[in-house]
Amino acid sequence: ENNIMNLDVPEKVRGSIAVVGSGPAGLMGAVELRKLGYEVTIFEALHEVGGVMVYGIPEFRLPRRVLRFYVDYVKKLGVRIEVDVVVGRTYTIDELLKEYDAVLLATGAGTPKFLGIPGEELNGVYSANEFLIRINLMKAYRFPEYDTPIKLGKRVAVIGGGNTAMDVSRIALRLGAEEVIVLYRRTEAEMPARREEIENAKEEGVKFMFLTQPVALIGDEKGWVKKIRCIRMRLGEPDASGRRRPIPIPGSEFEIEVDNVIIAIGAEVNKLIQRTAPNLKVDKKGHVIVDKYGRTSIERVYAAGDVVTGAATVIEALAAAKTVARTIHKDLSK
């Protein structure tokens, strides 16, 4: 904390920058640009600053005091922050370009992916995104003091094999679930989660079922999930990810009784901004296309972090934002 408390900024104002998103890339970009002498305004869609660091990472991995300290530092540098502003709805990129010299898109990848199987709409089924937001931002565990409860039963199934799946499985145990089972369609060796995250989950009592693919969620007459129909898998040749492709084994279907299901198979870019900025080039997954310095297809619009790469690490987002901040400074100094 002592190493970042340098509040020196140039007296001369070089220009004004709009930063869209207050996650790792947005905050880092804002700090770097402010230190270069720009007036910076961050626009955040949620009511709290921090992006994935505040809604998507549990407190046992990122203590809130650390995030609060850094946000306070950003404010002390003179960065303005406006919350509850949805760019693409409240303002368009074109409108921001009329008021600011440049726009940095750092909106992340916070839209949950789903399995596309029957029953995902049942009560008791959550995306990892919704689950984490309810816990981290809406304090669902303090019901009825906060009125956004999460009703967890005795047996919770988590679908997915990444770090987020490990996070939500450990949180479910902390919220009182007696048994938490992670279902993953490949083997443990192919799990994208970090080894230490997997081991931490095991140590806390999380169970794992590998080579298991859900094909349907089954509910009761009141619309609450009660079972997962699964099929066993075997591994074939490597796919585009470099991991061996899971192949269903015919006739191997079986059912698991559950009280809740949390779907944690990844997140993707929210396409709201792209819909209101038709000249912004994106790839087939909706990621903003940039050159190696962070320039987009629209002049004076730049992008950094998960909105470019898809869901990645906080460290990667921070590094990208620093590079793009220098690009913006170079371009505006011409």
Read off the pLDDT of residues 165-184 as tens digits, 9 standing for 90 and up. 999 999 999 989 999 999 99
- Residue of 60, 22, 65, 13 lying closest to 41 (CA atoms): 22
Q: Give me the DSSP letters along 1-17.
A: -GGG------SS--EEE
Candidate from 3-17, 34-48, 155-169, 201-215 with smallest mean pLDDT: 3-17
Cα→Cα distances 216→42, 119, 233, 246, 322, Å: 42, 6, 15, 17, 44
Q: 160-188: string of b/e by CB count within 10 Å (b at 16+)?
A: bbbbbbbbbbbbbbebebebbbbbbbbbe
Render pLDDT for 252-267 as a digit per residue (tens, 0 to 9).
999 999 999 999 999 9
Indicate the pairing of strand 254-257 with strand 15-20. unpaired
Contacts of 309 (CB under 8 A, 6+ apart): 287, 316, 320
The answer to whether residue 322 scores a pLDDT higher than 60 is yes
The CB-side HSE value for 205 (13 A sphere, CA atoms) comes to 12
Decide whether 2-110+269-332 matches 113-266 in CATH topology.
Answer: yes
The answer to whether residue 188 scores a pLDDT higher than 80 is yes
Report the distance separating Cα 172 and Cα 217, nearest Å.
19
The fold for domain 113-266 equals FAD/NAD(P)-binding domain (3.50.50)
Indicate the pairing of strand 179-183 with strand 207-209. parallel
Percent of the chain at pLDDT > 70 equals 95
The answer to whether residue 141 scores a pLDDT higher than 60 is no
Element (H, E) at 295: none
pLDDT at 1: 47
Candidate from 49-63, 65-79, 117-131, 284-298 with smallest mean pLDDT: 49-63
* pTM, full prediction: 0.87
The fold for domain 2-110+269-332 equals FAD/NAD(P)-binding domain (3.50.50)
Residue extents of the structural domains in the chain: 2-110+269-332, 113-266
- Residue of 213, 156, 214 lying closest to 186 (CA atoms): 213
